Amino acid sequence: MTNQTGPGGDVRLTGIAKTYGAFTAVHPLDLTVPQGSFFALLGASGCGKTTTLRMIAGLEEPSAGTVFLGDQDVTALPPYKRPVNTVFQSYALFPHLDIFENVAFGLRRRGLKSVKKQVEEMLELVQLGEQARKKPHQLSGGQQQRVAVARALINHPKVLLLDEPLGALDLKLRRQMQLELKRIQTEVGITFIHVTHDQEEAMTMADTVAVMNGGRVEQLGAPTDLYENPRTTFVANFLGTSNFIEAEVDSRSGEEIVLKAGGGKLVLPEARCSAPTATGGKVLVGVRPEKISLSHADDAGEIPEGRNRITGRIADSSFIGVSTQYVVDSPVCSDFEVYAQNIDRDPRLVPGAEVVLHWNPAHTFGLDAAQDADAGVEEAA
Ligand SMILES: Nc1ncnc2c1ncn2[C@@H]1O[C@H](COP(=O)(O)OP(=O)(O)OP(=O)(O)O)[C@@H](O)[C@H]1O
Ligand SMILES: [Mg+2]
């Protein structure tokens, strides 16, 4: 894409904040979105995603802080002077114009006469070349969404802001459009900042995800990093499911921390613990449901040495095709979730069965026990 509309570079927010009267929608926020990256702002309803996006677009005036685009301070610039375009959930296409003219709109407004080549290229990019002469109502929701993306991209923005752009689509179409948007972003190479409350969507599409909670970014990182190394219970529960055991620091052996939980011991790599680790201190020991193996208590002797293990009784099991999801009642945690891939099902693993849950200590993470272990559970549901 050509460099027509001012400087590119990283989007940099420094101390950006928004208050409405006594209410703080966005607490002072420092955030850098690298040029050319696919960045997601993820969080539950009301956490300040749209407000943050609108401050980047210039549609909302920050109460404090600065918005940089590359080296340029754009905080005081009106939206139309920023090299930024926004795609909203409601595509707001012009119903009386055909697809070609909808996409051409930005060029015509700038007084360009020969728009054909650019519009055709853009329609090609979003794979709607065949639909150019249709009206918006003759297209599917996903196709209309792509028109909205093409209409924004034709202005050659340096940054495309997307506010829940797939919110109105059904699940299957959403999945398709996630891949489609990712492809388009890779092809045009500009920065996309995508707002969503759907954790799977954020993880599928984005290079970097910022998890927002109550007007703050709780954690920022690559999807795998956030999932494997959550630093708060909110992030651990909002992205997927986590099990927590309250444990007490017992001792240390090399790079590992040994903890007491119930009558037993659990091992946690020190590098994966974000809680203070003084002996006697409390730690929330976390483990993801798919990391855990389930053995019938009669087979406990066959479990390899060196694995973390706890005992329990199956309270509930649901077969969902690719996996079976168990809820296990254990002395150290009343509703431990275990996802077992559906390979060879052990017919003894039914509600009421006494079991041993065991996992590789490397898959354990440790969080500060002062937090609410259930933070983010409701929001993610
Ligand atoms: N103009 C306004 N006046 C007062 N409060 C506002 C205003 N705009 C937003 N808010 C409040 O600021 C908070 C953040 O709103 P925002 O729209 O950024 O949330 P969001 O994360 O985009 O949520 P959603 O997922 O529901 O779109 C909300 O509590 C909202 O009620
Ligand atoms: Mg919003």
CATH number at 186 reads 3.40.50.300
| Ligand 2 centroid, distance to 158 Cα (angstroms) | 22
What pLDDT is attached to residue 381? Answer: 61
Pocket perturbation via mutation, ligand 1, pick of 16, 18, 19, 23 by most ligand atoms within 8 A of CB: 23
What pLDDT is attached to residue 253? Answer: 87
**Ligand 1 neighbour 80 (Cβ under 6 A):** no
* Maximum Cα–Cα distance across the chain: 79
**Ligand 1 neighbour 340 (Cβ under 6 A):** no
Q: Are residues 258 and 313 in the same domain?
A: yes
At 175 the three-state DSSP class reads: helix
Q: Are residues 257 and 348 in the same domain?
A: yes
Question: What is the number of the ligand closest to the CA of 45?
Answer: 1
What does DSSP say about strands 64-69 and 333-341: parallel, antiparallel, or unpaired? unpaired
Q: Are residues 249 and 219 in the same domain?
A: no
In-domain check, residue 5: no
Q: What angle do CA 207, 234, 28 make, to 5 degrees?
A: 70
What is each CA distance from 95 to 115, 144, 151, 366, in whole angstroms?
20, 11, 14, 54
Spans of the chain below 50 pLDDT: 1-7
What pLDDT is attached to residue 4? Answer: 43
Residue closest via CA to ligand 1's atom 1 equals 20
In-domain check, residue 139: yes
Ion ligand 2, residue ranges at CB < 5 A: 50
Q: Are residues 215 and 276 in the same domain?
A: no
Q: Are 347 and 357 in contact (CB under 8 A)?
A: no
In-domain check, residue 356: yes
Of 233, 256, 281, the residue that ends a domain is 233
Question: What is the number of the ligand closest to the CA of 42?
Answer: 1
| Ligand 1 centroid, distance to 49 Cα (angstroms) | 8
| Ligand 2 centroid, distance to 303 Cα (angstroms) | 48
Q: Are residues 209 and 129 in the same domain?
A: yes
What's the number of domains the chain is made of? Answer: 2
Residue closest via CA to ligand 1's atom 28 equals 46
Atom of ligand 1 nearest to the CA of 49: 21
Q: Are residues 187 and 264 in the same domain?
A: no
Residue closest via CA to ligand 1's atom 19 equals 46
SS3 sequence, 95-148? CCCCHHHHHHHHHHHCCCCCCHHHHHHHHHHCCCHHHCCCCHHHCCHHHHHHHH
Residue (of 60, 340, 77, 44) closest to 211 by Cα position:
44
In-domain check, residue 4: no
Of 216, 233, 250, the residue that ends a domain is 233
Residues 182-196 as b or e (16 or more Cβ within 10 Å = b): bebbeebebbbbbbb
Q: Are residues 243 and 329 in the same domain?
A: yes
Find the domain containing 300 and state its range. Answer: 238-380
Atom of ligand 1 nearest to the CA of 52: 18
Q: Which two tokens stand for residue 186?
A: 């890779």
In-domain check, residue 368: yes
Q: Are residues 108 and 143 in the same domain?
A: yes
Question: What is the number of the ligand closest to the CA of 44?
Answer: 1
Residue closest via CA to ligand 1's atom 2 equals 20
Atom of ligand 1 nearest to the CA of 20: 4
| Ligand 2 centroid, distance to 44 Cα (angstroms) | 9
pTM of this structure:
0.89
In-domain check, residue 54: yes
Q: Are residues 168 and 288 in the same domain?
A: no
Residue closest via CA to ligand 1's atom 22 equals 50
What pLDDT is attached to residue 3? Answer: 40
Residue closest via CA to ligand 1's atom 7 equals 20
In-domain check, residue 79: yes
Q: Are residues 242 and 275 in the same domain?
A: yes
**Ligand 1 neighbour 20 (Cβ under 6 A):** yes
Q: What is the strand order of the sheet 365-368 is part of?
A: 264-269, 256-261, 243-253, 282-287, 365-368
**Ligand 1 neighbour 50 (Cβ under 6 A):** yes
What pLDDT is attached to residue 310? Answer: 96
What are the tens digits of pLDDT across the range 80-135? 999 999 998 777 899 999 999 999 998 998 888 889 999 999 999 888 999 999 99
Residue with tokens 């954690």: 219
In-domain check, residue 2: no
Residue type, 193: I
Of 206, 233, 260, the residue that ends a domain is 233
| Ligand 1 centroid, distance to 35 Cα (angstroms) | 27
CATH number at 325 reads 2.40.50.100
Q: Are residues 90 and 115 in the same domain?
A: yes
Q: Are residues 212 and 260 in the same domain?
A: no
